[in-house]
Structure 1
Amino acid sequence: MPVDQHSDPFEERLSTALHEAGGAFDRPGGALAAAGQARGHRMRLRRRAAVAGGVAGLALVGVGGTLLVPRGGAPAPNPSSVAASGSTSAKPAVYSADDVFRTLKKLLPKGKLTKTEARGTDEELPPLALGVFDDGKGEGAVSVGLDRVRTDTPGKFDPVTAVMPCSDGGQSGFDSCRTDVLPDGSAVTVYQGYEYPDRREDTKAWGADLVTPAGQHVSVMEWNAAAEKGKPVTRPEPPLSTARLRTLAAASEWRRIVDAMPREQQKPSAAASASARPAEMAGWLILRKLSLLLPSSLKRVSYGSQETGYGYMVVDDGKGRSLVQVNVQPGMSDVADELFGDGSETLADGTRVAVRQGPGEKGGAGVVMWTVDTLRKDGLRIVVSAFNAAEQNKAATRAEPALTIAQLRTIALSPRWRSDHD
């Protein structure tokens, strides 16, 4: 399947969107070379999910916590944690778990907040404040997490490239999603969605994700139930409006706590670098590569991606819409035998290939899923899947996916995936 340099309105829209979002083919959530330790944490989670659940666990769909890796805090720091020497080299303030929780309580509107969990800046995991809030109209879980994204990336750092993206098309599961740039240059995405993409329960998940020009990252989430999962819906909607979510995420108190977090080592030693897991590919770059690898005869209908590791496009060959998705996972050599068993093949260059054809995994009536799973000798795993529907959790719209197994194989084995560029 040749790489066609065709002129296509969708391709031009994609190119324009990526450029406008902050650099060469950048799209919101794209260049998370800025994602720091949060990226590594997500990679480890996704890697374990891939081993435990095969292809099913790869594409992170839904809203609940997918991109929101917490790290939080807020009021005056605990005096006992501040160095008392008076020296200019004194240690920075430390915000305790109680400090973080009290800040959330202070910034919420009138009501009762009961603590569920909290962490401070002096703990191994990122700071977090999670509680059950009741404004008199029913309980709703509310969480705030804080983190810091790297800003020392090539070129000028743009918060729009680091904030949670709004997907284009119907795959996001959002009722609404909007990314704006605030007067201070911060980018904020405010969204309204559901805990379960197939809406098998009425639990709504709303949130705001904010990144400042200094790299401070604030993630706010709320639900119309007393917990993210496992609790009945207690009110029609979560307690905070989208305007209040945005205001809460933008509060200056959170930024002070982020500034108090210990900074990561910016330049690891050669030994540490050698043993470090390679960086994940940005979602915008996955989209770009996928668009170039798809046959020119397919109309690109919509697209979307996570900040790293995953992208999708809905295509149409004139016989109905078909979802195509790609997962890109570096550093997977250590689980090769668990991923590629009987029935897989090994190519001359050492690349392992497995083909799977079966029913879809998200409950859509009559949906089938065709997958080519590949693993290079250097540990780079590329998984390409196509469906006979535009959305996995809705009914099939055609008999078979728009791409054949041979075409999926060509895409998955393309040398384009080895490059950091197009």
Structure 2
Amino acid sequence: MTFETELRDRLHAGVDQTEIDLGALLDGSVAYGTRVVRRRRLFRIFAGAATVAVLGGVFAHAGSLNGPPDDGIPASTSTTALQEAITPQAALKILLETLPTAGQKGDFTGWPEGIGTQDGLSASLGYTDGGSTATVTISLLNHRFPPECVAGADLNCRIDTLANGSKLQLVENQSSGSSGNYKHLQANLYRKDGLVITLLSENREEYNPGTSPSRPPLSLAQLKAVVISPRWQRQVNPALVDGATGLFTPRPLTQPSSPAAKGSK
């Protein structure tokens, strides 16, 4: 008899009379099997979620590569539950981020547009570049009126139709009055979705009649680049609204004058 055969026989003889708790053994086997099935199921769930996240990133990247039309303006806009109405402070924050960074900026303010009922908003700042300072005001208006170049009133004015059907008006004016003589540059975008975006740059430096005013700190081309930005929307990311809250306190909405009491003279 070999050593292996003898060892096997002795092991069998030692355990032949041992009692086995089959109930405990069965319960343990079932519990182990349940854990294995649960782990496999969770693995499939997490793997599926990871796949969805990766594909979502791929599609988002593909969408960013497609980009907006040539003029930089979305053909249409949509509102989701994750967005909030733009505020004067949020409009100013976008303006700060879209203006040329070389200039100095300050004197922040803003207000809701309209009398009694809000019909848009405006935000304003002081912008200095090349020794010249202007008050720069962005306005987002919900009403639509056709752009027009007024002969005799506008020094230089042109209206172009962009690729998506929106109309862009560029105006250059000089004004004179009791407070002085000033240079005005303005870009007005009349979008197909009904939103009217205006950006006005008014030189703060007076000039003498018959002389040329100082060079505006912003050109018409720079104003155009700001108003055609796709960032101007009625609804924006809540993080933008929250992050801009501390820039200034908006002026209140203008209220209509109270009607005169009956019989008053």
TM-score computed with the length of structure 2 as normaliser = 0.49
Flag the structure with more relative contact order, 1 or 2, with Cα contacts below 8 A and sequence separation at least 6. 2
- Larger helix fraction of residues: 2
